[in-house]
Structure formats: structure tokens, C-alpha cells
Structure 1
Amino acid sequence: MERTTEDRVKVLLLFLAVGGLIVGLALQFVLGRADLAQLCWSAATLPVLAALALEIIRSLARGEVGLDVVAALSMSAALLFGEALAANIVAIMYTGGTFLEAFAEGRARREMRDLLARAPRSATRYHDGSLQEISVDEVIPGDRLLIRQGDVVPVDGHLAEGTAYLNMAALTGESLPISLEPGAEILSGSTNAGHAFDMVATEAAKDSTYAGIVRLVEQAQRSKAPMSRLADRFSIGFLAVTVLIAFAAWWATGDPIRAVAVLVVATPCPLILAVPVALVAGLSRAAQFGVLIKGAKPLESMARIHTLVLDKTGTLTDGRPQITRIHAEAGYSEDDVLRLAASLDQLSKHPMAQALVAAAEARGLVLHLPAQTEEVPGEGVVGMLEGKPVFVGGHGFVTARTGDATLAIPATEAGSVLVAVGVGQRLAGTILMADPVRADARAMLRGLRDEGVKRLVLATGDRAAVAERIAGDLGLDAIHAELSPDRKVQIVLEERKRGPVMMVGDGVNDAPALAVADVGVAMGARGAAASAEAADVVLLVDRIDRLRLGIVIAKRARAIALQSVMVGIGLSVVAMLAAAFGYLQPVQGALLQEAIDVATILNALRALRIPVPVEGAVTHRAT
């Protein structure tokens, strides 16, 4: 049965139980037909009881015993001994609770639809001196393929001739495109960021890198162990106490109605209702701050995280190139160098070009449109600006065109890129660009330590030197670099031996690890759709400090849920004893149980007002 069908059945059962109660009350108190009212309440209860019995059989087949057994016993006993109204009330509370629980635990995934949508469906193959469009499944090793600008590489292969300029962010997480020489390996899933090039396929589509990532995600999602419902952890003890009190009352008095009253008042609605209400309230509170938690199970898991595994690009770092230093030659200012570079780069789609334009606009610099521009993929851009030839690109590219080799190459850090700017026959200056650590990363990691996270681990596909530079003084417990998607999965599985693991990432290459972690967190503001679909939590705002906020809310919501459970159980036990001594009849017990439900639900709703730390302060309001 599809999940949507199950949800519809739960809604139908809830409306049937409520409708039966209303019609039955009208029959008894308006028309004076108590006999028809009893039939109406019984008829409204039986479908709920049948669905409940089916669910109990399924649970027992899985070796599980839940609170559903108590609800089934109370409805069955009430119907058997002519207390149809009490049975109907129990049915309403049970169906209402299961509906809320289904809503709280409903997953927001669409079975990797976006990940699969990005995978190329066709390829352009050379055949008998012409080009033909074929299905990607028809590509065989040895085929020569044309990869146009902007195309996603359909299969693994190697560069046939010339140079290629590829964006590998989807596979490695590296935000800066790379240049490849003839014979270099090309991985499926990378994007052509330069001119069209030819490649020779070395793998079929099903055996290529991108298809492997899709399979990893699907396998990881299937292998993740399901978590039991929080309320079910109390089921065996509560069931034993309920049955013991009910049969003791029947045996001591010989009155079966005493047992029915005990069972009705013992219906675990505080557990069935309060837990999902508290968790749904926690989900709502987190969403106010841009933390989308996809259900109650991830929220429960977030409250118990032992290890945090972080990708680098887009998580610890901003994920976009930024200017770290500008050096201006004599006769030019830093603003002059940036204005010249950004003016020429206005027509380029290169990530660094766009970053330069954004930086110039942020400084309020006036940019002019260049003329006669030409972009050499992977090297630089040339054009006429204010009547002079201007060159922007790598140091060698610019010095070769200006003829000015007097400027020594400045020292650069691992993972940084040098952009040179030339005007006419001389160098104007250089701009150093890198993907820096987020300003809030250090504070966020310290805050997570304060919230009980024991281990902080960096797992990135980037080079080891870059990972070491980024890690710096962040206080990480382990650093893993140059990882493939399957190695990231292995790192997560190894860390899970120590305790529950949260994985944070933003690229397609992170999706398998996000899926296999106890809690996967995706940077959804700018991250890949695949990582957002595979993740349990999506940060809808581009702020890593929201991670701590989500954990604070999860821990407090879970604590409120547990508190509601304990209060509900305590009140139910007191009410059971009262029923056992004859102070409560079945209908009275059902109504008292309603009052207990209201009290526990009101307590659970406190999760809507959980105070959270935001930028060093505690707030009760969404930002």
C-alpha cells in the first residue's frame, strides 16, 4: 500500500469515528433512540478496530508489541459488554493520534526524483562522419562523444584531444572548475564549463560514476535502520500494568464492567497523542528559523547525536570564490584593479568572474561594458575597455599578452587561485581568490560541543592540503580528504560505531553519505537538489549556525514529549485505580481520559515556544 493511501485511510477512519459519535448523540438525546445510538457508535468503532487488529498482526509479525494492543483491548471489551459510547470515544482518540503521528513522521522525499532528473538521458555520438543523438544507455566503451558547453558528461571516459574545462562540484564538492589535458580521465556527472570537446567513452552508463552515486543513495536509504516510535518504548510496561489492574478488579469484584472501565481509562492516548504533538510542534518551531526537519524520527535522532561529519565546500566554507587579497601595481589602486577585472568579466559565466563582479558591485564601483571580448576557457578573458586592451586570467595568460614579466607570482595558499589583470603592455595588479571558512563556523562548532556532540569530523573530496588549511584551528577530531562518494559512506558507517552520526553536506557527492547517516543535513539554500532529497534535515537559509539551533530544538522537543508521556502515564494509572475501585464507569473513564489527553497535549504544545540561541542571544521569536 502506498503511503498516501495509508494516510487517506487514517483520515477516513477518523471522520467515520467522529461522525458516528455525533450521529449517535443526536439519536439518543434528540430522537430518544438509545438502541440506534448504540448501533451507530458500534458501527463507527468496528472499522477502526478492524484496522487496528490488522496493524497489530503486522507488528507482531515484525516482533513488535506496541500501545495499539491496549487500545484494541479497551475498544473490544467496551463493545463486548455494551459500552459502545466509551468504545467510540476511544476510537476517536486512537484515530486522531495515529493521524497526527503519520503527519509528524511523513517523509518529504520524492524517491530521488531530482537526482535522477539531473542524470543525462542522451548523448551525442560520432557515427559514419556525422553526429547522432542516442540514448545514454546505448553508449558503449570506445564510442567518441561530443560534449557541448553546458552539457553534463553522460559516461566516464577520457579527453580525446585539446583541452577541457570542467566543473566537478557535483562529484568532488570543489567549487572551482578544473582544466584537463588530452588523455585525462573525465567522470560522468561533471559539467562542461568551457568550449565543446570530444571524449572517448570508457564505461557504459550503468557502470559510470554518476550512476554509481545514484545507486549508493538508494542503497543507503534502504539500509538505514528504522527507529521505533518513542511512545512504543513504554508499551510493554504500560500494557502489563493495565492488564494486571483490569483483571484484578474483575477477579476481586466479579464485575466485568470494572475491567472495561480500567481498560477504557487506560487507553494510551496521552502517549499516542502527546508524543507526535510535541514533535510536530518542534518541527514547526525549527521551521520558523529555516531548519526543515523531515519528520519526527529525524528530530528524535538529532537529540542524541554523538558525531558530526562535515563536508568542506558550502558547509564549513561559503562554497563561492571570494577575494582574500588585492595587490595593485604602481599607478593603480585596489579598486582600479577590481573594477577593470569585473568590467571585463561581466560577460563571463565563470564562477570566479561572477564573484569578481559581485565584489565590485558590493564596493559600489562603476563598471563599464567591454568590447571585442574573447574568453579562453580555463585561461582568461581579453577585451577592449575604455579604449585599451585589458587582460584578466591566470598569471601566465596575462604576462604572455602584455609582455610584462616583471611581476613575480605572489605566494598563494592551498586551494586559492591567482587572477592577474593587465592593461596594454603592463600588469595592473593581481587578485587572490579562495573559498574561505564561514565566519560563523568556529562559533557553530563550539556551540555543538556545548550541546553534547563528542566528535567533529571533516570529510571532503578536496585535496588534503586544502582540507588542512580550512581545518586550521577549528578543533576537529579527524580530517579525511580526497574522498570519493563511497568513501564518504564508509567514513559515516565507521563513525556510527561510536554513536549516532549527523552528516552535513551540499553536493551530489554528499547524497549517499547523507542518506546512510542517522541524520543527514543538506545546505538547501544553494546546495544540490540531490543532497536535499537524500537528507533528513534541510537548512533553508545559508547559515551553518542554524545547525546548533536545530539540535537545541530537537533536544527540548524530545524532553517535552517524554515529560508529557510520564505525566500522562502517571495520571492514567491513578485513573485506572479509581476505575478498579468502582469510582469511574466506562463512559466517565473515557471522558476523564479526554481531560488527561487535553492536559498532556497542552503540555506538549509548549514545544512551539522553545527558546533558542540565535547570534549569542536567546529568543522566543522567529528571525
Structure 2
Amino acid sequence: MSASSRINYRLPITFTVIHRIWPLSLAAIAITGLIVGGLLRWWHGDLLFWSTTALVSATITVIVALSVDVALSLRRGDIGLDLIAALSMSAALWFGEYFAGAIVAVMYAGGQFLESFAQGRAESGMSELLSRAPRSAVRVTASGLSEVPIAALVPGDKLLVRKGDVVPADGKVVAGHALLNEAALTGEPLPARRESGELIMSGSSNLGDAFEMIASGSASESTYAGIIRMVSQARNSKAPISRLADRFSLAFLAMTLVIAGLAAWLSGDPTRIVAVLVVATPCPLILAVPVALVAGMSKAARAGVLVKGAHVLEVLATISVVVFDKTGTLTTGEPAVVRIETDRDAEEILRLAASVDQASGHVIGQTIVEEAKRRGLRLAKPAQLAEVPGEGIEGYVDGRKVAVGGWDFIAGKTRSATRPGPKDNSTVTAYVAIDDALAGTIVMADPVRKDAVPAIADLRRLGVKRLSLATGDRAEVADAVGLALRLDQISAELEPAEKVQRVTAERSYGRVMMIGDGVNDAPALAAADVGVAVGRRNLAAAAEAADVVLLRDDLGQIGTLLQTARRSRAIALQSVACGVGLSVIAMVCASLGYLTPVQGALLQEVIDVAVIGNALRAL
């Protein structure tokens, strides 16, 4: 590895480490300077020089760090409360009030550490979006098979997609047929069969036997790569959210400067400027807000909800629109037997079908087996098995010939040439033949989750005024789910980019929370004011793009999360109001000469403790 490559590799790591440890280091420097300076002055009066040096050094270090933040804020056009803290520490040093300056430095650095701690704690354990992306592909050439890096693929390459592989690039099936799980892209939980010549999308998983395909583009031009790019674009387009405390900054700064200027002018004593600025240092704002929000985040974490930052919790408190994905979010994301249609014994039909399907790895077959086990049926050992992958399976059970599969497969095994009943596009049907005669059908669907109905009711009760469904699934399936849950808007057959457009359109009704669970939801989760990742399958991409991750697969946590966010924000605002009110009273007393700078700093500490104690109620 060259020196330049080593530098390029290490610089991001170095900056990341500094970003994480600097707030803690700054707080440690400020606290150490105050303690050392105080002990030296108390221990021996002859050590006044060294005491002053410790106090001034700590304060200057914090001022320098603060000045950088202030300069960056002003460059963005933001005037934050940090400016008042910088003025108070600078004035304290100018007029020789070193203890007062050091006390303010400790409180400011402590507030910065709390905010940094909240962000770092929230980001730990996050999954990476690229965790599902294939890293290599099997290329078919005249000389045989070779595994190549995904970046080396070019249009026209013939590829072999093995069972269990993720399709590495968009393309067409060229040999045989493909049985694919496209749930990560479309949200459809049931497998899709693609015949020779049909298009397939990267990011799909091969459930069946290996097949060959021709790549129509490079991996960087694929559907999956496009989704990743959309996540990045959606994040960049999301409006930045200012800290709650900064919204009060301009008025508070103007009031502080007016009181300080009038006090010095009317009294003729310039040190009153320091006294006013010290008690005006907005530690209640700088500390109370992050403490209340971090407390709310901790409470949510104990309930199994990971919130990626205090600002996310603040926005959650103002959510009025919720957009749901369907598959894996409002539904189970897995097929389940909903009914058995037969004029014979339904459980015997299920038992025979499940006995044969024990030998099949197809998701439909496994669903039938699981349903039979759930009902406590005794499954027999099948014999003389023959399976056509993706179509059906047949064999002998207890001396009876049993075939299970799709209509084309079963029609060739029976004397019936007419499909029974109308085709329902919202369900999947497995046909069962016994001794060469159609015996019945097993109907499967993706059922609504048991916790979806109470979760929707909770959101209505909490005042969420609009609930929408945005899914890549078929319209008839989406309509059935949306109507069952009485949602306000139903949008179906959406591509990932169209989901982003749906989220953007919903903003006309208020701040939007998007809830989803898969790769196809990731761009919409990133584009929403708050994205929530939920579910067990394909969670990595959703978790990376989302602002909130439900660590337990429980929709009931959504309502609890909104309640926690609203309570935390209310306590933060209450703490701000009380803290600012007490600070204004203290500023008036300092302007009239009733408080020295050191007394003012100590009084401010008392106010801080009271305000922080109130903010901790959010726990």
C-alpha cells in the first residue's frame, strides 16, 4: 500500500475519532482547570499566579473551540446561543473575573458533551445499507465459470445465479426459468416466476435452481444501486432541523446586550457587563433541552426503540401524518393459509398436501407444512417423489398418489381441464390432486399483522390526522389491506422513486413519518421528516436510511414512541421557560449591582441544577 493510500484510508478514521472524543476532552479540560485553579487559590495564596493560569487556560481553550462553532454558525447565517456564552467568557477574562469565566466554561463544555453523547449513543449499532449488496458474480465464458468482482460486470455478460444468490445486475433470463424473492424491491412476499426472456431486477434473491442470465447493464446502473443513490439524495434534500434552544437565541441575545449595556452606562461600572453576561449565559437552554431529549431517547431505548439523535425525538413530537409500507409493516410479510376449499375433509387434504411438501424447499410448500404442524396434524413420510421446481411436487402418501402445485402442473395430472372458481389476484392458490382427481385448493395470502389494528387506533387517538399506505404490491392487495385498516390514502404498485414522491406529497398535510422494512422503502424513509424501520426481514437497508429503528417487531411501539417524544419536548420547553425566567430575574439583579460576577455564576449554577433536575423527569 502506498503512502498516499494509507493517508487517504486513515484520515476519515482520524477525523471520526476526534469528532467523538473532542467534546469529552473539552469538558475534562474545563472541569480540571476550574478544580485546579480553585484548589491552588484555597491551598496557598502565593500560588495565585498558577491558579489564575489554570483558570484562564481552561477558559481560553473553551473559547477557542466555541469561536470555531460560532464562526461556522454565522457563516451558515445562524445566530445561536453559543454567541452569548462566548461573550460572557471573553468579558470575564477581560475584566479579571477568572472564576466566573471558568464556571461558564464548565457549563458550556458540559452541554456540548451531552449533545455529543446523545448523538453517539443513538448511532451505535446501526446497520449498513450495503450489507445485502452482492460483492461478486459468477460469469459464464467459453472456458467455463469464473467469479469476478461486481464492479467488473459489463452489459452483455452471461451470468450464473446460484440458488440463494442475490441477482447482481439487471438483465434477462436466458436459460430455464427463475424463481425469485423480490420482496426486498417490490414488497411482494410471494415468489415470482420469471421465464426465459423476461426481465429480472438486481437485489432479488434466487429461491429456485441455478439459472443463467444476460446482464443488461453494469452493477452501478442496477435497480439496487439506484435505490442506494436515492437514499443519499433523499437525505441531502431533507431540510436541516435547528436545535430547539437556538429558536430563542436572537431575542435572548438582544435582551441580554441591552440590559448589560444599560447597566454599565447608568452605573458607570463596566464590570456589571460581566455580571449580567454571566447570569445571562444560556446554560438552562444549552443543557435542559439535550438532557430532556436524551432522557426521552433513553426511555425509548429501554422499550426497544433506537432513536438516532435528540433532534429526531423533537421532530417526532410534531408528527401529524404517517405513511406505511404494506408488506412486513402492516402485514406479516410471509404467506399464510387463509382457507381450504374442498368438498372433502379439509384437514385430511391439508395433511396429505403437507406430507408431500415436506420434501419441497418452495416457500408455498413450507407454508402448507407449517400450517399443518400448527393444527397438530400427523404428517406421513412421502415416497416416490418427483418435483418440478417452481411448479409443483407429487408423490405417494399412505398409498395414495398426491400432487400439489400451480394450476398448470395439476391440470396435467388430473382429468379436470377447468380451473375452479375465479382467480383472485390478492391471494395465491395451491391446488391439490389425490389419485389423479382434483381434491381441493389451499388459499394463501399475506395477512394483516395482529398488532396493526391497535397501532392504527393508537395513532388516531394521539391526534395523527392522516394515515396513508404506499406499497409496491398490487392494487387489489393494497386496497384490501387499506380498507381493512380504514386508511385515508392507498397508493399501490409504486417504484422506490414513486414512494419518495408520495412522501413529499403528504407533506402538504404536515410533518410526515414513514414506516417501512425493506430496501424498496429506504429512499422514502430517508426522505420523510422521520423514517421508522420495523420488521425482521431486509431490515439492514431500512435501518440505515431510517431515523428510528424498532428493535422489537412490534407496531405498538409507534404510539408509545410518539407519547415519549411529546412528553420529552414538553418538559424541555417547560425547563427552558423556567430557566430563562430565572435568568432574566438574575440579570436585573446583576444590572442593579446586587450580584457580583462570581455570585452570578454560582446563582446560575443553582438555576442549572434545578432546570436539569426538571428535565430528567423525561426518564
TM-score band by shorter chain is over 0.9
User: C-alpha displacement at 1:412, in angstroms?
Assistant: 5.7
Report the RMSD for the aligned CA atoms in angstroms: 2.3
Q: How does 1:227-266 map to 2 (within 5 A)?
A: 227-266=241-280
Question: Whole-Å Cα distance in 1 between the matches of residues 617 and 365 of structure 2?
Answer: 49
1:455 aligns with 2:443: no
Which residue of 2 is the match for residue 337 of structure 1?
349
Preserved CA contact (<8 Å) 1:416 1:432:
yes
1:65 aligns with 2:76: no
User: C-alpha displacement at 1:386, in angstroms?
Assistant: 4.0
Which residue of 1 is the match for residue 582 of structure 2?
571
Which residue of 1 is the match for residue 199 of structure 2?
185
User: C-alpha displacement at 1:387, in angstroms?
Assistant: 4.8
Question: Whole-Å Cα distance in 1 between the matches of residues 249 and 601 of structure 2?
Answer: 20
Question: Whole-Å Cα distance in 1 between the matches of residues 346 and 169 of structure 2?
Answer: 47
Cα distance change, pair 212–112 in 1 and its aligned pair in 2 (3 A)? farther
Question: Whole-Å Cα distance in 2 between the matches of residues 273 and 349 of structure 1?
Answer: 57
User: C-alpha displacement at 1:389, in angstroms?
Assistant: 4.0
User: In structure 2, what residue type is equivalent to 1:202?
Assistant: S
Preserved CA contact (<8 Å) 1:302 1:519:
yes
Which residue of 2 is the match for residue 618 of structure 1?
none
Per-residue CA distance 1:417-451 (angstroms, 9 max, x = gap): 11233444445543211011223323322332332
1:475 aligns with 2:486: yes
Question: Whole-Å Cα distance in 2 between the matches of residues 202 and 293 of structure 1?
Answer: 40
Per-residue CA distance 1:3-49 (angstroms, 9 max, x = gap): 54223111111111111122122212223433322221111111111
User: In structure 1, what residue type is equivalent to 2:356?
Assistant: L
Question: Whole-Å Cα distance in 2 between the matches of residues 358 and 253 of structure 1?
Answer: 86
User: In structure 1, what residue type is equivalent to 2:536?
Assistant: A
Cα distance change, pair 346–83 in 1 and its aligned pair in 2 (3 A)? farther
User: C-alpha displacement at 1:581, in angstroms?
Assistant: 1.7
Cα distance change, pair 94–112 in 1 and its aligned pair in 2 (3 A)? closer
Per-residue CA distance 1:518-569 (angstroms, 9 max, x = gap): 1111114334310111000111222222212211111111111111111110
1:92 aligns with 2:103: no
Which residue of 2 is the match for residue 446 of structure 1?
457
Per-residue CA distance 1:32-77 (angstroms, 9 max, x = gap): 4333222211111111110001111111011000000111111111
Q: How does 1:483-562 map to 2 (within 5 A)?
A: 483-562=494-573
Question: Whole-Å Cα distance in 1 between the matches of residues 125 and 555 of structure 2?
Answer: 26
Preserved CA contact (<8 Å) 1:414 1:469:
no
Q: How does 1:117-132 map to 2 (within 5 A)?
A: 117-132=131-146
Report the 3-state secondary structure (helix = DSSP H, G, I; strand = E; otherwise coil) of the residue aligned with 2:618: helix
Q: How does 1:109-508 map to 2 (within 5 A)?
A: 114-330=128-344, 332-334=345-347, 336-401=348-413, 403=414, 405=416, 409-410=420-421, 413-508=424-519
**Larger deviation, residues 407-416 vs 557-566:** 407-416
Give the TM-score normalised by the residue count of structure 2: 0.92
Question: Whole-Å Cα distance in 2 between the matches of residues 54 and 8 of structure 1?
Answer: 17
Which residue of 1 is the match for residue 28 of structure 2?
15
1:588 aligns with 2:599: yes
User: C-alpha displacement at 1:89, in angstroms?
Assistant: 1.1
User: In structure 2, what residue type is equivalent to 1:453?
Assistant: V
User: C-alpha displacement at 1:107, in angstroms?
Assistant: 8.0
Question: Whole-Å Cα distance in 1 between the matches of residues 447 and 100 of structure 2?
Answer: 64
Preserved CA contact (<8 Å) 2:328 2:535:
no
User: C-alpha displacement at 1:382, in angstroms?
Assistant: 2.9
Quote the sequence identity (%). Answer: 56
User: In structure 2, what residue type is equivalent to 1:300?
Assistant: E
**Larger deviation, residues 110-119 vs 279-288:** 110-119
User: In structure 2, what residue type is equivalent to 1:20?
Assistant: G
Give the number of aligned pairs.
Answer: 605
Preserved CA contact (<8 Å) 2:518 2:537:
no
User: In structure 1, what residue type is equivalent to 2:370?
Assistant: A
Q: After the TM superposition, which parts of structure 1 deviate over 6 Å for at least 4 consecutive aligned residues? A: 110-113
Which residue of 2 is the match for residue 48 of structure 1?
62
Question: Whole-Å Cα distance in 2 between the matches of residues 355 and 239 of structure 1?
Answer: 65
User: In structure 1, what residue type is equivalent to 2:44?
Assistant: L
Which residue of 2 is the match for residue 6 of structure 1?
19
User: In structure 2, what residue type is equivalent to 1:205?
Assistant: A
Report the 3-state secondary structure (helix = DSSP H, G, I; strand = E; otherwise coil) of the residue aligned with 1:160: strand
Preserved CA contact (<8 Å) 2:407 2:419:
no
Preserved CA contact (<8 Å) 2:340 2:346:
no
Per-residue CA distance 1:283-309 (angstroms, 9 max, x = gap): 111222222211112111111123211
Question: Whole-Å Cα distance in 2 between the matches of residues 369 and 579 of structure 1?
Answer: 90
Question: Whole-Å Cα distance in 2 between the matches of residues 342 and 31 of structure 1?
Answer: 88
Which residue of 2 is the match for residue 616 of structure 1?
none
Cα distance change, pair 82–194 in 1 and its aligned pair in 2 (3 A)? same
User: C-alpha displacement at 1:148, in angstroms?
Assistant: 1.3
Report the 3-state secondary structure (helix = DSSP H, G, I; strand = E; otherwise coil) of the residue aligned with 1:145: strand
Gaps of 5+ in 2: 1-11
Gaps of 5+ in 1: 609-623
Preserved CA contact (<8 Å) 1:112 1:530:
no
Per-residue CA distance 1:120-152 (angstroms, 9 max, x = gap): 222222222522222323322222221111111
Report the 3-state secondary structure (helix = DSSP H, G, I; strand = E; otherwise coil) of the residue aligned with 1:397: helix
Which residue of 2 is the match for residue 30 of structure 1?
43
Cα distance change, pair 91–201 in 1 and its aligned pair in 2 (3 A)? same
Report the 3-state secondary structure (helix = DSSP H, G, I; strand = E; otherwise coil) of the residue aligned with 1:314: coil
**Larger deviation, residues 288-297 vs 124-133:** 124-133
Question: Whole-Å Cα distance in 1 between the matches of residues 585 and 358 of structure 2?
Answer: 74
Give the TM-score normalised by the residue count of structure 1: 0.92
**Larger deviation, residues 384-393 vs 276-285:** 384-393
Report the 3-state secondary structure (helix = DSSP H, G, I; strand = E; otherwise coil) of the residue aligned with 1:575: helix
Preserved CA contact (<8 Å) 1:109 1:534:
no
User: In structure 2, what residue type is equivalent to 1:512?
Assistant: P
Question: Whole-Å Cα distance in 2 between the matches of residues 182 and 459 of structure 1?
Answer: 31
Question: Whole-Å Cα distance in 2 between the matches of residues 25 and 109 of structure 1?
Answer: 37
Preserved CA contact (<8 Å) 1:178 1:378:
no
Question: Whole-Å Cα distance in 2 between the matches of residues 350 and 233 of structure 1?
Answer: 57
User: C-alpha displacement at 1:411, in angstroms?
Assistant: 5.1
User: C-alpha displacement at 1:361, in angstroms?
Assistant: 3.2
Question: Whole-Å Cα distance in 2 between the matches of residues 213 and 13 of structure 1?
Answer: 40
